[in-house]
Amino acid sequence: MKRAIAAGLAALALMSCSNNPGDFDLQGHRGARGEFTEESRQAFERALEVGVDTLELDVVMTADHVPAVWHDPIIEAEKCSGEYVGKPVRTLTFEQLQTLDCGKQLTDFPDASVVENNKILQLDNVFKLAKDHEVRFNIETKIEAEKPELSAPPQEFVDAIVASADRFGRRDDIMIQSFDWSSLELVPEGIERVALYDSTTFTPNSVWLGSATYDDGVVAAAQSVGATVLSPDYELVDQDLVNQTHAEGMKLIPWTVNDVDTARSLKKLGCDGIITDYPGKMSEAL
């Protein structure tokens, strides 16, 4: 990672950055996971308070077809307590999810404020929270391509997200992101498609790529499913990737960047934004 960024910085003198002041897209990961319980009302309120450009969040589909704002396909004991721990969200109704207490201190985020008796939100709740804010929404379809029985069909995700956005007049403000690129191919025209990937999903013969072809390279492959934003693990970013992405008219927004120096280096490389667990400190630093 350090070598890649150093090499990129050396090349900066030969090129101009793609992002002008004010164009850098600061995205609060799961609201503000490093500051409050992830994807809680308070996490999203914190992200809005510090002025993020985009709220980044996940959606899983319930048994009664509600887009629940949660990351995991199975209710994990690490995060939640209640009768349905260990059950797939796909098999539970939204009413059943509401019996869970999903406010626990996570080992990786010891300084985050815990929201006691935190209740899982649905997507409508997030749009309501942000109704008075000029903010975008980067919404991930949490599809388990390797274990499809754990998640709803891709079309159900896309339809539910778009319907919720339409109820609040926010269709123009949403992006739909996914590691499962088959779902991106279903996104209606006019809605931005974000191709997520890491070293385990962008591989030969990967089930995550939809109709895309690995041999074309990641930029061309993402373009082939209609993506206009490439969103890799930040450790995969180097100057060549930035240049290739921009040459095709796409944006590059890596995840999950929690170190200020790394964020600054990525911005200097020409990245168009970052996704971070700490939007508070990043809003001050960048």
Average pLDDT of the chain, as a whole number: 94
Among 31, 91, 105, which residue's Cα sits nearest to residue 61? 91
Supply the pLDDT for residue 22: 61
Supply the pLDDT for residue 19: 45
Report if pTM > 0.75.
Answer: yes
Residue 201: pLDDT over 60: yes
pLDDT band at 130 (very low <50, low <70, confident <90, very high): very high
What is the domain-level CATH number for residue 42? 3.20.20.190
Residue 141: pLDDT over 60: yes
Residue 75: pLDDT over 90: yes
Cβ–Cβ < 8 Å for 230, 251: yes
DSSP conformation letters of 45-108: HHHHHTT-SEEEEEEEE-TT--EEE-S-SB--TTT-BSTTTTSBGGGS-HHHHTT-B-----TT
Q: Dump strand ranges (E) for the chain.
A: 25-29, 54-61, 67-69, 121-122, 136-141, 174-178, 192-197, 229-232, 251-252, 273-276
Measured in whole angstroms, the distance separating CA 254 from the mean position of its chain's CA atoms is 10
Give the lowest-confidence range in 9-18, 103-112, 138-147: 9-18
Residue 21: pLDDT over 80: no
Domain that holds residue 132: 2-285
Supply the pLDDT for residue 46: 99
pLDDT band at 17 (very low <50, low <70, confident <90, very high): very low
Residue 9: pLDDT over 80: no
Q: Determine the average pLDDT of the residues in 230-258.
A: 99
User: What is the rounded (10 degree) CA torsion for 144, 150, 155, 159?
Assistant: -110
- The pLDDT tens digits of the residues spanning 142-200 come to 999 999 999 999 999 999 999 999 999 999 999 999 999 999 999 999 999 999 999 99
- The pLDDT tens digits of the residues spanning 251-286 come to 999 999 999 999 999 999 999 999 999 999 999 999
Counting the structural domains of the chain, the total is 1
Among 236, 248, 285, 277, which residue's Cα sits nearest to residue 47? 277
